[in-house]
Each structure stands twice: as C-alpha cells, then as structure tokens.
C-alpha cells in the first residue's frame, strides 16, 4: 500500500493523559520572528509591500492596483458559479445566521441599582471587520459563509474579505460568489501574514479594520496574535481537531469516516477515538484502514485510539483535551452531552456528522482549538460586537456612591480620583443648601402672612365700599 494512503494509527495506553494525546500533534518551528518581519514590511510599505510579498511568498505577480477584487469581477464569478452550489451555500448562510442570532440578547439592557441610578448596557457591532478566508491551493466558500453570516447577524457595517490568490492571481468563482451572496463590501486577493498586517494597519488602498476573524495556517494565526491589541481578533486558531467518545453501540464505519474527514485537513491536526471497549477500537482500526484505502487520499494526521476504563473516564479525558469538535456516539455515550463543558462544538448521535457542522448545520466551523475551548467560543454574532455601558447619576444616588468611591480612591492613593468625587459632593451640598435657604425664606414669608391680623367682615366690607362725601 502506498505510503500516506493509510493514516498512521497510534494506540495509547489506557489511562493516557490529555497531554499525551496532544503530544501527537507536530508543533513546527517557531515562525514568530519571520511573521514579525512580514508585518513590519506591510505596516511600513503598504501596497508595494503586498505586491512584493505576493510575488515572494505566493509566487503570484499582481499588477499595481490589482490587490482588490473589482465588483464586476465578483459579479461575473457569481454568474459563472454552479447554481446548485450557490443554493447550498444560501441554505448554509441562512442556518448560520439564524443560529448566530441566538447569541444576541436585547440590543440595550438597563439595570436599576439600589442607590437609585440606572446603567444602560448597549450591544454595538464593530463598524469595520476583516474576515480571512484560506485559499490558494483550494477554495473554501464555506468559510465565507461562516464568518460573513455571523458578521451580518451582528450588524457589521463594512465587511472586508482577504483571500490568497491562486497561481494565476485569481480567486475561485465559488468563493467570490459566496462573497456576493453575503453582500461582502470588499474582497482583496492577498493572503498569509501580509493580509493580516494589511487588515490591521491598513495600506494606501486598504483601510484598516477594527476586528479580524477567520481561520488560516500558522502564519496567519501568528500574525493575528501579534497584531492583537492594535485590532481585535476572534481567536488564534490552530489545526483541525476531532475527538470521538463512543461505546460499543456506535457504528465503527461511520466513526472512521468522520475521523478521516478531519484527518484530511492536513498533517498537523488532532484526531482521536476514545472508547471503553478494546474490541470496538480494534474494529475501528480495521475500518479506518479499509476506508482510507478506498478513498484514495493521503492521510498524514496520526489517529489516536484511546482505551479507557469507563465512559466516565473517557468523558474526563475529552474534557481535559477540550477539542475543537467532540462527537458522542452510542446509546450510553450520547446522554453525556449535558455534562460536556469543554468543547468547541458537540455533535450527538450517529447522524450528527462533524462535516455537517463544517458546512450546513448552522453551527459555526470557526472554532477554538488547542484546548482553548475551555475559555473561548465559536465565531458568532457576539464575536463582532462589544458591550458599552452608559452611566448617568441622579442627585439622589450621588452621595452614597461618591462617598464610597472617594474612600476607595484615597485608600489606593489616587487623590485626584477622590477629589473629583468629593467636589461633586460639595457641589451637591451647596445646591442642597441653596435649596434649603430658599425653602426657609419661603417658609418665613408664609409664617409672616399667617401671623398678620385677619380683618373682620365689617372692616373688610368698609374697605371695599366707596368713600362717601361728608355733607355740609
């Protein structure tokens, strides 16, 4: 059998740790300094640097002004694209956008606090977002769908997509058609770390964005890491990951198909099956070899077979790995879904293939990797939003809040902070004093009027009658 046709299958000892599973992933040499140099060239050289780097790194000679894809080129690509594919992408986009909106609460929430003031918190989209879509050797219109649908659900005003061009300098029609379907505002034919630098810092023609999202190779992810802080980023995503937790009821052929589907993403991924039945794992190994040979592709990602003492131990191992994708398959494994806390996305049951999540289910395929599922979420509408509080303090709330705040500030040695609060207290007391004086004066006037003698009816009538002339 030709080398590489069958994936390397690694049996781990029962009780192996998450670290042992993750150790199967190659780490690769550090590219930090080389990425830093690329970012500096783009930041300082702008469009000219993008053209030079496209030639040096991608082997693509682009004419000046040819980095941005013209709208008529996008429209022409959409017209040429396969109509059935466009229908499928439309279905996927609608599902992703519907699921993405589930993460959105009210646009504005107001809470009333015990001191008598209210805080309004608004959810606001970033104005301009960048989406990186891998390309070059292969086309990924599905990634356009995943990122752009979430951004549109969030209310992003301007969405910019960067795609590495092919050797001919073009971008695949399907990718451009997906950009048209999702009403992407700008498409640029540039990839790698240089694309991330251009999005972060801008060039003469590409305006900088507020946030960058999307998957990509380790050059792209290292660049996202380095520009974070100057712009927002969704996360630093690594190679694809899938862990399957199965019992003896699981169909080993279906599980083998799912494992190979993730393994074909490239040699740097993490693919593992966890099960308490050694015999079932042995059957799975045979299915993996047979299916890989039948598919005829090259599978270089090691596939780990991890026996465990029980499903509970298996779940604990999965939780420690915190994989990008987690499948639970089998009558006893599937009910454990409610207990999962650490996974980018969970697929439950034989029908819930990870590949459905990659394309059309509605869950997003831009997911946390490398164990980041412990603290990060999939790309969704909130990825492209931030929350902003609006504070107004009525007079009745000021005294209690300012006194407490000034006390804390003086304890921390921040005397100017304290004084800014104390001055407001003084102003409020002055106003209260003025108000009290006005009230006191008003009360004295009212008291004086009340103390004056009240005329009798005869006196009042006499004053009201006209004076008569005295007769001589």
Beta bridge partners of 125: 385
Catalytically annotated residue among 241, 319, 324, 334: 324
Q: Where are the alpha helices (DSSP H) in 376-414?
A: 395-411
Give me the sign of the Cα torsion angle 101, 244, 313, 251. positive
448 is catalytic: no
d(CA 321, CA 301): 17
Q: How many CB atoms lie within 10 A of CB 43?
A: 17
- Is residue 298 within 8 A of residue 215, CB to CB? The reply is no
DSSP for 64-113? TT-SEEPHHHHHHHHHHS-HHHHHHHHHHHHHHHHHHHTT---SEEEEE-
Classify 328 as helix, strand or coil: strand
d(CA 125, CA 16): 44
d(CA 320, CA 326): 12
Classify 206 as helix, strand or coil: coil
Classify 305 as helix, strand or coil: strand
DSSP for 216-253? --HHHHHHHHHHBTTBEES----S-EEEEEE-TTS-HH
Residue 24 burial (CB < 10 Å; 0-12/13-18/19+)? middle
Side-chain half-sphere exposure of 363, counting CA atoms within 13 A? 17
Give the residue from 211, 213, 228, 101 showing the smallest Cα distance to 152. Answer: 101
Catalytically annotated residue among 325, 327, 334, 365: 325
117 is catalytic: no
**Annotated active-site positions, please?**
324-325
């Amino acid at each position: 059998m030709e080398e590489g046709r069958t994936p390397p299958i690694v049996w781990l000892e029962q009780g192996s740790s998450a670290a042992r599973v993750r150790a199967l992933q190659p780490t690769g040499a550090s590219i930090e300094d080389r990425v830093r140099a690329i970012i500096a060239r783009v930041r300082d050289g702008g469009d000219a640097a993008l053209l030079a780097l496209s030639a040096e790194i991608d082997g693509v000679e682009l004419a000046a002004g040819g980095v941005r894809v013209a709208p008529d080129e996008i429209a022409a690509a959409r017209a040429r694209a396969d109509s059935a594919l466009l229908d499928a992408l439309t279905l996927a986009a609608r599902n992703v956008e519907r699921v993405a909106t589930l993460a959105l609460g009210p646009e504005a929430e107001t809470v009333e606090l015990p001191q008598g003031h209210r805080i309004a918190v608004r959810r606001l989209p970033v104005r301009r977002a960048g989406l990186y879509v891998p390309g070059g050797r292969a086309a990924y219109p599905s990634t356009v769908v995943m990122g752009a649908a979430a951004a549109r659900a969030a209310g992003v005003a301007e969405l910019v997509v960067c795609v590495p061009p092919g050797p001919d300098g073009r971008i695949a029609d399907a990718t451009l058609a997906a950009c048209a379907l999702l009403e992407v505002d700008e498409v640029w034919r540039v990839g790698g770390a240089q694309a991330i630098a251009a999005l972060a810092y801008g060039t003469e023609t590409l305006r900088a964005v507020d946030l960058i999202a999307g998957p990509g190779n380790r050059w792209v992810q290292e660049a996202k890491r380095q520009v974070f802080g100057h712009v927002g980023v969704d996360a630093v995503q690594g190679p694809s990951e899938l862990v399957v937790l199965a019992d003896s009821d699981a169909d080993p052929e279906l599980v083998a198909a799912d494992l190979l589907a993730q393994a074909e993403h490239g040699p740097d991924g993490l693919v593992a099956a966890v099960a308490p039945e050694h015999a079932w794992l042995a059957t799975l190994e045979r299915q993996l070899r047979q299916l890989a040979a039948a598919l005829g592709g090259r599978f270089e990602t090691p596939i780990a077979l991890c026996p465990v003492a029980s499903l509970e131990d298996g779940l604990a191992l999965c939780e420690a790995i915190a994989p990008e994708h987690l499948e639970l398959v089998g009558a006893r494994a599937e009910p454990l879904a409610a207990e999962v806390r650490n996974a980018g996305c969970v697929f439950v049951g034989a029908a819930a293939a990870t590949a459905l999540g990659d394309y059309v289910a509605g869950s997003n395929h831009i997911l946390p990797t490398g164990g980041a599922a412990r603290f990060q979420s999939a790309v969704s509408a909130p990825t492209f939003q931030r929350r902003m509080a609006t504070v107004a303090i009525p007079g009745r709330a000021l005294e209690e809040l300012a006194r407490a705040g000034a006390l804390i500030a003086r304890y921390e040695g921040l005397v100017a902070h304290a004084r800014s609060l104390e001055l407001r207290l003084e102003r409020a007391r002055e106003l209260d004093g003025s108000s009290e004086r006005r009230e006191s004066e008003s009360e004295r006037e009212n008291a004086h009027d009340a103390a004056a003698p009240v005329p009798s009816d005869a006196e009042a009538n006499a004053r009201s009658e006209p004076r008569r002339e005295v007769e001589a």
